Amino acid sequence: MAASTLVDCTAFAVGCLLTVAGGVSVLSGRAPSWPRHVERTRLFGVWALCLGLFCVTQPPALRDEVTGLGAAAVDGRVALLLVSAAALLLGVRKPRGQ
């Protein structure tokens, strides 16, 4: 039980961190210094924001709340992952020479 709670708290904390970093990147056009592979900072922001919101709703209590909102909310969580993946792929720095 304690390991599950630790995972849930970690997912929530990482989600909050990514949500804030993503929101700042989308609004300001600046990425934090740690992601060196980023070419387009706003796409990094979309990736972080979507993944962060997904992680925030990952703990069982919040996931049950989302499920209770209906099928559109559950589909919205899946859409967050898809948009996150697309933004990550589009925002990654291309290798030199290509």
Domain holding 53, by residue range, is: 2-91
Indicate the pLDDT class of residue 31, thresholds 50, 70 and 90: confident
Instruction: Check: pTM over 0.85? Answer yes or no.
Output: no
pLDDT (mean) for 8-17: 92
pLDDT bracket for residue 86 (50, 70, 90): very high
Q: Is residue 38 in some structural domain?
A: yes
pLDDT of residue 96: 64
Judged against a pLDDT cut of 70, whether residue 48 lies above it is answered with yes
CA 59 – CA 49 distance, rounded (Å):
17
Residue 46 counted as domain residue: yes
Residue 70 domain flag: yes
- Alpha carbon distance 25, 53 (integer Å): 15
Name the token pair of 91. Answer: 């925002």
pLDDT over 60 (residue 1): no
Total number of domains in the chain: 1
Asked, for residue 98, whether it belongs to a domain, the answer is no
Which is more confidently placed, 38 or 82? 82
The verdict on residue 81 lying in a domain is: yes
SS3 of residue 92 by DSSP: strand
- Residue 47: name the closest of 73, 10, 12, 81 by CA: 81
